[in-house]
Each structure stands twice: as C-alpha cells, then as structure tokens.
C-alpha cells in the first residue's frame, strides 16, 4: 500500500494522510492508491501539509498500518533512544514496533 506523509508547515510535526486530513498517528494512515499525486498537490497548495511524499506501507497481522522501511517507522514513532519523546511514551515495547 502507498501511504502519504509530510510535515505540518508551522509545527514541523510528522503527519500522515488519513483520508480526510493529516493525523499525527501512522495507524490512521490510509492507502492513497492512484490518488496520491492529486492529494499531495492539493494539500500542499492549501498549506495543510509541507513537502508530502508517498512511501510503502504494510499492514500488520492485527491489521495496523505501519511503514515498510525502518527509517519511516522511526519517523512515525520518534527517536528510539528517547522513548519519553515518542508518540508512545508509556509503551516499553515501542522500540520493537520500529525494529
């Protein structure tokens, strides 16, 4: 599946296309399919996202979306060496989700 990511223009936060808008959580990401370019052009022009791009995503056994490549997984979670700063600060297993 193709999922779309970028950064929020003002805050710089990593965001994911959830079908209606941009979410902080990659689990909300949807398959953009053939519409990827159209969505990205429209959203960037409206400054709802900064420098969007499409990446490969995959669905886990439990059906959760996650990026296929480790770099994007770290981007989706936060630095593996500072669990307190990730999107799952209370989850001791967060690092495993990345690797």
Partner 1 sequence: MYKYDHYDQAMVDARVEEFRDQVRRRIEGHLTEDQFKSLRLMNGLYLQLHAYMLRVAVPYGTLSSAQMRALADIADKYDRGYGHFTTRQNIQYNWIKLEEAPDILADLAKVEMHAIQTSGNCIRNISSDQYAGAAADEEVDPRPYAELLRQWSTFHPEFLTLPRKFKICVIASEQDRAAMRLHDIGIRILRNEAGELGARFYVGGGMGRTPMIAPVIRDFVPLDQLITYSEACLRVYNRYGRRDNKFKARIKILVHEMGADEYTRQVEEEFAHLLSQGIEPPTAELERIRTYFQDPAFEHGALDALDRSDPDFALWVDRNTMAHKQAGYINATISLKPVGGIPGDASADQMRLMADLAERYSFDELRVTHAQNIVLPHVRKADLYEVWKQLDQAGLGTANIDQIDDIIACPGLDYCSLANARSIPVAQKISQRFAAGGKADALGELKLKISGCINACGHHHAGHIGILGVDRKGKENYQLLLGGSEAEDTSLGKITGPGFDEDGIVDAIERATDVYLRERGEGERFLDTYRRIGMEPFKEAIYG
Applying CB under 8 A, the site for partner 1 has a residue count of 23
Contact between 47 and partner 1 (CB under 8 A)? yes
Among residues 27, 28, 48, 50, the one that binds partner 1 under rule CB under 8 A: 50
Q: How far is the CB of 34 from partner 1 (least distance, A)?
A: 24
Query: How would you label 60-85 residue by residue, b for 16+ Cβ within 10 Å and e otherwise?
Result: eeeeebbbeeeebbbbbbbebeebee
Stretch that binds partner 1, among 16-24, 29-37, 59-67, 75-83 (CB under 8 A): 75-83
| Interface map 6-25 toward partner 1 (x if CB under 8 A) | -x-xxxxxx-----------
- Tell me the C-alpha distance between 6 and 4, whole Å: 7
Cβ pair 19, 29 in contact under 8 A: no
Q: Smallest gap, in angstroms, from Cβ of residue 83 to partner 1? A: 11
Please check whether residue 11 is in contact with residue 53, taking contact to mean a CB–CB distance below 8 angstroms.
Answer: no
In the chain, DSSP assigns E strands to 2-7, 14-17, 22-23, 50-59, 65-67
Q: Rule CB under 8 A: which residues touch partner 1?
A: 7, 9-14, 44, 47, 50-51, 68-71, 74-75, 78-82, 85
């Amino acid at each position: 599946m193709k999922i779309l990511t970028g950064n929020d223009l003002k805050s710089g936060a990593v965001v994911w296309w959830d079908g209606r808008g941009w979410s902080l959580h990659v689990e909300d990401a949807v398959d953009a399919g053939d519409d990827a370019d159209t969505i990205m052009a429209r959203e960037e022009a409206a400054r709802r996202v900064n420098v969007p791009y499409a990446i490969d995503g995959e669905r886990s056994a439990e059906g959760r979306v996650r990026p296929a490549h480790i770099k994007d997984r770290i981007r989706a979670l936060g630095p593996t060496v500072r669990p307190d700063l990730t999107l799952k600060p209370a989850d001791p297993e967060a690092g495993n989700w990345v690797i």
